Structures are given as C-alpha cells and as structure tokens.
Amino acid sequence: MGIVFVLLPPFNTKLIIEVFVKRVLILVIPLLSLFLLGCPESPKVARGDEDLILVVSDSTEFRELESTISTVFEKIIITPQPEQLFKIKNIEVSSLNNSRYQKNIIIAAPLNSESAAGKFINSILDSAAKASVMNGETVMISKDNLWADGQLVVILTAPTLEDLEFQILRNSDNLVYAFQKKSDERLSNTAYNKKYRQLNVEGQLLKEFGWTIFVQLDFRVAKKVKQDNFVWLRRGINTDTERWVFVKYFDNMTPEYLNKDSIILLRNQVTEKYYLTSDDSVYVVATGDYTSREVNFNGNYAIFTQGLWKTTDNYMGGPFISYTFYDTKTKRIYMVDGSLFAPKHFKRNLIQQTDVMLQSFKLESQLDEKFKDELLKLAGNN
C-alpha cells in the first residue's frame, strides 16, 4: 500500500544509539576531499534534485547491490499515483570529480574489492577501521558539506559484497533518516528561513492559542475558532497546488487515544466540520489508504499518520500527513496536519515541504524565551 513518509527518527532513542554504537562505525574524515581534489576550493552550494542519490560504485558491483539499495531508498510513498522516496543513479569513481557537488552521494564497495571504489575506500581507512570491517561490522563514513554546502556524502563498506548487502538492509532506517534529515535542513535553510515567514502571524497564534508554527509568506489564515481550539492555514487557494494545514487540540484526553484508528476518527471529525463546500453538502474524509508509526515529534511521543483524503462526492482527493501527540501538562491531544491538492503535479517534494512546516510546530513551553518575546511583541502590534 505504501510506506510512511516520515522525516523524524523512531521514538526509541535508546535503540538508535545501540544500533550506531554496536553495529555502525562512524568516522569523521576531514581530509577526504584531499583524496579527490588536492587543494581545497571555495565553498559551493549543493545542487541537483532533492530526491536523487548518486551511488558511486563499480558497475559490476552495483548490479549486485542495486536491488538492495533500491529496496532501502526507492520505497513507494502514499500518493494518488505511486512515487518514490528517493531515486538512485549509479556512476563510476572516474565520474565523481564532475559530480562532486551533488546533494546526496553514496560511495559503496566491499573492502576486499579490487574495483576503483574498493581501492579508494581502502586508501582512506586506517588499520583499526579495517579491522572493524573484517570483524563483521559495517563502516559508515558520513560527512556533511564535504564538497558543497548542504551536501551529504556517505561511504559504505563491509568485508564482502554479501556482507555489504546485509548490512545496508540492516541499517536501512538509519541510512534513510540521514538523507532525509539533511534534505530537511536544506529546506529549512532556504524556503523556511526568517526572510520568508510571517512572524506577526506566528506571534498572533502564540498569543491566542499557546503554540506557533512556521507560516510562509504565501500562507493565509483561513479560519481561527478559539472556542474549538482550531486553526486552518491555506496556500495556493483555488490553484492546482493547494496546501492546507490545520492545528487542533482536544481537551481532557488520555494517551489511549494515540492509536491509528482513534486518530483517523478524530481527524475525520475535524475535516467533516471545517473542510467542506460552501453549501455544506460535501466534505473531506480520510480513505482507507493510510499508515502510521511512532515518532519523536519535538521531544514528544507522537503518532505519524500518512494517507489519502477524498471529498465525499469523490470529485477531489490527495495525500495528507499528520502528527498527533499527547501533552501531559495540559492533558491535551494535539493534531498537526497537512493536506495537498495538486492533481497535475508530482507530490513527493510537496509532501516533504509540508512535513518540514509541520515539524516547525512548537508549544509555548518549547520556545526560546528571546524568540517568544519577539513573537509576542509583534503580535501586540496587530
């Protein structure tokens, strides 16, 4: 049916730490650029498609690894038409110099390989790292901004090709998370920086509702219902790329409501009331195509839900993503939700952009005091 398109790590932080400490050796390689480039250059900005990962590997070895790497990165996400989480493209080591400014790069080869990629990896590992590899542990060399700002380069190896395939699958969640996290950072540093946000609107939301969220310049507050603890933000109204974001909290709740069936029921209650036509004859509901998983949402245990919505007359539809969490201080269930209507466009990047916006949600207690004072001061001028 699809996979959860989630840009946050699983909530089990202890498990993540154990996986990395026990199974993955992470090496910082400040001199790696010297192996390919010689002298350092002035900083470049990473380029290329957000969802493209270049895999630098010998073509023969890549044919053996392709199915495994595809299983990890080219997963299908839930949209009306199937789309991939990432796309992979193989290049040889000899082509890396011309492609070194790409956003996402993996260099993969077994340590026992005589290929150009294998020789390169052997040349940068010290004896301790090689011993760890031969003892059966994957070596994951991860470097941010190596040749360009906003770039992630990851080198993967293992004793043999079979071991490498196994370890890539074993560490699939962490590999996907690493590239998704870097992609989120790129979006936050461009479209979601201070120059493109409505701080006065964010301050007003903080003042009236006790929470705030990043509001881009082209978003509008479509509806605020204080007595119902509901806010609806819209972008691209009456265009072919509409985005809808709502935040709703439910008072006097318990954590037991944090299960996928209850969440869909609560969501449908909201959309049936507020996402409807002007004559109230048609409204939005979630279809049966949805998945959910536990995540860490800004320090809160939450359920991430992804699925499809439709109007009750089946005339419109699209994907949605939603975070639902319980606030122990107020005994409230918060739902932070985003929907897309973009029938003529691919949805993958639009979903990610919406996801990054949802992740910017903060309760008042989570805000830096200086920033909170700035927002409230701007709200006071309205």
Per-residue pLDDT tens digits for 343-379: 989 999 999 999 999 999 999 999 999 999 999 999 8
Q: Does residue 3 sit within a domain?
A: no
Q: Does residue 5 sit within a domain?
A: no
Backbone angles phi, psi at 272, to 5 degrees: -65, -25
Residue that wins the pLDDT comparison between 195 and 72 = 72
As given in the structure block, the two tokens for residue 382 are 């309205």
What per-residue confidence (pLDDT) applies to 175?
A: 94
Which string of DSSP letters, residue by residue, matches 33-71? HHHHHSS-----B-BS-TTEEEEE--HHHHHHHHHHHHH
Q: Does residue 7 sit within a domain?
A: no
Boundaries of domain holding 228: 195-380
Helix (H) or strand (E) holding 150: none
pLDDT over threshold 70, residue 20: no
pLDDT over threshold 50, residue 252: yes
d(CA 129, CA 299): 34
> Taking residues 44-50, what's their average pLDDT?
93
pLDDT over threshold 50, residue 25: no
Q: Does residue 293 sit within a domain?
A: yes
As given in the structure block, the two tokens for residue 25 are 């050796």
8-state DSSP, 196: G
d(CA 104, CA 152): 5
d(CA 103, CA 120): 21
d(CA 363, CA 212): 7
One domain, residues 173 and 199: no
pLDDT over threshold 90, residue 194: no
Task: Confirm if 148 and 33 have CB atoms less than 8 A apart.
Answer: no
**Residue of 28, 32, 48, 165 whose CA lies nearest to 108:** 165
380 to 222, 232, 264: CA distances (angstroms) = 21, 21, 36
Direct distance between the N- and C-terminal alpha carbons of the chain, in angstroms, rounded to an integer: 46
Choosing from 189, 214, 244, the residue where a domain stops is 189
- Split into its structural domains, the chain has a count of 2
pLDDT over threshold 90, residue 244: yes
What per-residue confidence (pLDDT) applies to 41?
A: 57
**Whole-prediction pTM value?**
0.81
What per-residue confidence (pLDDT) applies to 310?
A: 95
Cα–chain center distance at 103: 15
Choosing from 154, 189, 224, the residue where a domain stops is 189
What letter represents residue 183's amino acid? S
One domain, residues 151 and 216: no
One domain, residues 40 and 138: yes
One domain, residues 183 and 229: no
Instruction: Tell me which residue has tokens 């709740």.
Output: 253
Choosing from 144, 168, 189, the residue where a domain stops is 189
Strand, coil or helix: 209: helix
Strand, coil or helix: 182: helix
One domain, residues 374 and 305: yes
**Residue of 186, 113, 188 whose CA lies nearest to 155:** 113
Q: Work out the angle at residue 342's Cα, subtended by the Cα atoms of residues 322 and 72, and round it to the nearest 5 degrees.
A: 60
* Tens digits of residue pLDDT in 57-66: 999 999 999 9
